[in-house]
Amino acid sequence: MKAIDIEDLIPYGHDHAVTLEDLAWQTDLDKRSIRQAIADSRELIINLQDGQGYFKPAADEGNLVNEWIFLMDSRAREISKRVRRARKWFGRP
């Protein structure tokens, strides 16, 4: 599936978010492929991990984009910490 196809299935606005399960049903693709298509998208598609699903932020949803940035930064820090632990296990800095 091309990224543009997935973009057409993702609505604008948090109130209209679509779940991964719905996208899988609509596309007949596995969840991993859908996540990859979303990651490869040229448009900003976010998921606030609140059970609502994926959406393209509407013009008045800057606060939600900031919330998503905070979530992703926190996740990145946690992953980085775990990678450092793994490197330390190998005796690497």
pLDDT digit string (tens) for 10-55?
A: 999 999 999 999 999 999 999 999 999 999 999 999 999 999 999 9
Q: Is the pLDDT of residue 1 over 90?
A: no
CA-closest candidate to residue 59, choices 4, 12, 5: 12
- The total of structural domains in the chain comes to 1
Would you state the structure tokens that stand for residue 73, as one six-digit string?
A: 């930064």
In the numeric block, the tokens 């604008």 are attached to: 12
- Residues spanned by the domain of 54: 3-89
So what's the pLDDT on residue 31? 95
Q: Is the pLDDT of residue 93 over 50?
A: yes
CB 37 within 8 A of CB 54: no
**Rounded-to-integer distance, Cα 17 and Cα 2, Å:** 20
Summarised one tens digit per residue, pLDDT across range 61-91 is 999 999 999 999 999 999 999 999 999 999 9
* Residue 67: how many other CB atoms lie within 10 Å: 16
Burial class (CB in 10 A: 0-12, 13-18, 19+), 10: buried
